[in-house]
Structure 1
């Protein structure tokens, strides 16, 4: 197998695979597939359905594989897309992957009941921890400030969700923070923008 197409998980983009080529350079050529409206395709119009995303990715796979052997890796939501891509290719009689890798997703023949992410109150601390891990250390040397910003963001997100029963964008006014230093204000802008985009996208993927 020469190529490994990689599909991102719920709410994320192909940027999650940035380090894979360096790790697997002696085994595969890594080609991340992007969901329209995210990451490298951020300026594109978002797709209206999972089927539309899978059909577009199936075309990309055929074009970029160009007769070479390949595999597909899908994580979480990306695992569902990977399965759909293979189903489309099989129905159209096109070249199927040599290997299909699915990680963190349910089997296609299982009935899946999706519980909205933010309604799982027992996992809310995990979500707070996850958000703080999204941001690389170079953004700030002050990890306390980073943790506080992420904590305040998640508190505001949960408060809005519990009141409205849907994910809403958080503004800096929602965070009720005391005056920040210049560098911390820039950090806050980045966190709020990134986190709003992630949870908005995750909500779309759940639907």
Structure 2
């Protein structure tokens, strides 16, 4: 399928995975190597306003305060996501639109537009360690906050809304591999669209996969693991 249902548009690559799995690293690497041909849509940019109690799904944070549930797909403005994908796919600037986020294989607005579906699979302990390090290095945050949020709801939400998407993926990647390895694997899906081979994607000429297919800068919203 393409970025516009029933219309002429460029292909869409949906990239999902848990927090700190490496999905954004992969998506941003594709866009960085091909800034003129790859359009990038970050689902992190489409959460409903956190201060609006009438929208999204609410939960209690580790501090006991009510907050937006960043790990629930119901907290994403799906209409805005659909509009952004369609705009990127029909603007005439791109050969490929990449949509990345926790729910890139979960939200209907993305699923019905996706040409290919990729899931970046990374062990929970590695994802949690990556997130804690990122929070410390970027925000100077107490690591206890991430740990408490993970135990309070993050682990459960991942199991319910993110992990099942692995079974819907066309390609499952090992999130512990290098950026070059991730690009190499995805080249087998999108290389022809971009008019380039594996080397053109800036990757090593080898396939890296996990299972059946055998720290980046944070976005605006503070996702829990």
TM over 0.5: no
Between structure 1 and structure 2, the one with the greater Rg is 1
TM-score relative to the length of structure 2: 0.36
- Greater relative contact order structure (CA < 8 Å, 6+ sep): 2
Structure 1 or 2: larger strand share?
2
